[in-house]
Structure 1
Amino acid sequence: MAAGEPGASSPRGSLARSTDDRLLDATGEVLARVGWSQVTMAAVAAAADVSRQTLYKRFGSRAELAQAYVLREADRLVVVVESAIAQRADDPRAAIAAAFDVFLGAAAEHPLVRAIVGDRDGSAGGDELLELVTIRGRSVLDTAAHHLAAILRDTWPALTPSAADLAAEIAVRLAISTAALPDGPAALNGGRLAEGLAPYLERELGTTLRS
């Protein structure tokens, strides 16, 4: 929420968020049909059935729109991961494996990820999105890792904040790199990825993780 914008509980604040969600939904709809290079402010405004003036008022530029869209979708994927972990809280090994699996499954169908991985030569703008996520969008990685660390601490209170932060950072980077390279080994699924975190979590939780 921008500085000076109405608070979360105010009607105007709720309306602004509703408008933003509508515009970001429209961004995803356009991206699902065309490459990112063709996702123009005019196309998004048309898909949302609003004026370009309204779109520019909420997001001052195409770059700002892109970052807002990436951040929101990252948050939504984290919610999916949180559910997978919560359902298997008594088995950390299975929880982490399921979290990777549900993330990779959701990412495979997501227009953002498909736009990045489906554009091999960068001509459709996929490179621009990938750079936003991995370089200019450092805040995207930070936000996802921060949210995941909080989930890990809530699920397993025995984890220290530093241990949860490190595990979350590793998990986010593994998940994103695997989603962005779908042509990798077929066996590189949630279970295999979880093996990389299992020894660390085993030590920090003081329990034997199931194989």
Structure 2
Amino acid sequence: MPTARESLLEAAGAALSARPWPAVRMVDVAAAAGVSRQTLYNEFAGKTGLGHALVRRDAAWYLDGVDRALASPGPSAERLAAVVEWTGRAAGERALVRALLTGCWNGNLPVPAGRGVRPGLPALGPAELVRAVRERADAAFATGEGALRCELAVRLALSYLIAPADQPGPGSAGLLQLVDGAGLSVPSPRAAAR
């Protein structure tokens, strides 16, 4: 049985998919979750806290999918393709994930912690997610080159999210051919010092 917090996040996510964040009412979220409004306020302290929790939940959902793609059986190229495909699919399914990956926020979405609310605090955004993907790839692949290739593949996928092509793109296999065709290799420490 889901906790009150989980039920509230599910209800808020459903409300956000139906209408813009400013139109989401706390009383409606509480009713949809089957809890009192006071329980909602006890869990999140208000609409801003609920919005921050939604952003964190969707970021975790995206990264869980990255973990599944990296852990899938098969050669590294297939696992990289799975990460690229997941990135595109996740961004298409959830507006918050798309905003987190692209950095393109609008007034229809809750504002992530640190962005526009409390200046100076780090906000969860594209750089943090790409860093998290690279760290996960670093753990999944035996070489630093695998993590670098994964980061490059995700960055290419993000470019398709930000500036979609007029025609169907190369797909994940085509993106990975671009990564391989770039002659990507890990720089030697000596070369990096130059």
TM-score (normalised: structure 1): 0.63
Paired letter, 1:99: V
- Trace 1:83-162 onto structure 2 (pairs within 5 A): 83-88=68-73, 90-91=75-76, 93-110=77-94, 112=96, 125-126=107-108, 128-129=109-110, 132=112, 138-141=123-126, 143-159=128-144
1:1-211 equivalent positions in 2, closer than 5 A = 18-88=3-73, 90-91=75-76, 93-110=77-94, 112=96, 125-126=107-108, 128-129=109-110, 132=112, 138-141=123-126, 143-159=128-144, 164=147, 174-176=156-158, 178-179=160-161, 185-187=167-169, 189-195=171-177, 197-198=179-180, 202-204=184-186
Aligned counterparts of 2:150 and 2:113: Cα–Cα separation in 1: 17
Q: Which amino acid aligns with 2:21?
A: W
**Helix, strand or coil for the counterpart of 1:204?**
coil
Matched residues, percent identical? 28
When the two chains are superposed, the root-mean-square deviation of aligned CA atoms in Å is 3.9
Distance in 1 separating the partners of 2:166 and 2:46? 35
Cα distance in structure 2, aligned partners of 1:134 and 1:172: 24
Q: Deviations over 1:88-136 (max 9, x none)?
A: 5523x332222111221233223545899xxxxx6xx33x44x649955
Equivalent-residue separation in structure 2 for 1:172 and 1:204 (angstroms): 17
Any unmatched runs of 5+ in structure 2? 101-105, 117-121, 189-194
Distance in structure 2 (CA, Å) of the matches to 1:37 and 1:188: 37
Task: Report the Cα distance in structure 1 between the residues aligned to 2:183 and 2:45, rounded to whole angstroms.
Answer: 43
Any conservation in 1 of the 2:149–2:179 contact (CA below 8 Å)?
Answer: yes
- The answer for the alignment partner of 2:119 in structure 1 is none
CA contact (8 A) 1:158 1:204 kept: no
Deviation larger for 107-116 or 28-37: 107-116
Q: Is the 8 A contact 2:149 2:184 kept in 1?
A: no
Call closer, same or farther: CA 1:44–1:115 in 2, change over 3 Å.
farther
Per the normalisation by structure 2, the TM-score is 0.68
- Checking the alignment, whether the CA contact within 8 Å between 2:62 and 2:90 is kept in structure 1 is yes
Q: CA deviation at 1:176?
A: 4.9
Aligned residues: 178
Contact 2:44 2:50 in 1 (8 A): yes
Per-residue displacement from partner, 1:139-182 (whole Å, max 9, x unpaired)?
A: 2445533432232112113218xx94x66665655545544655
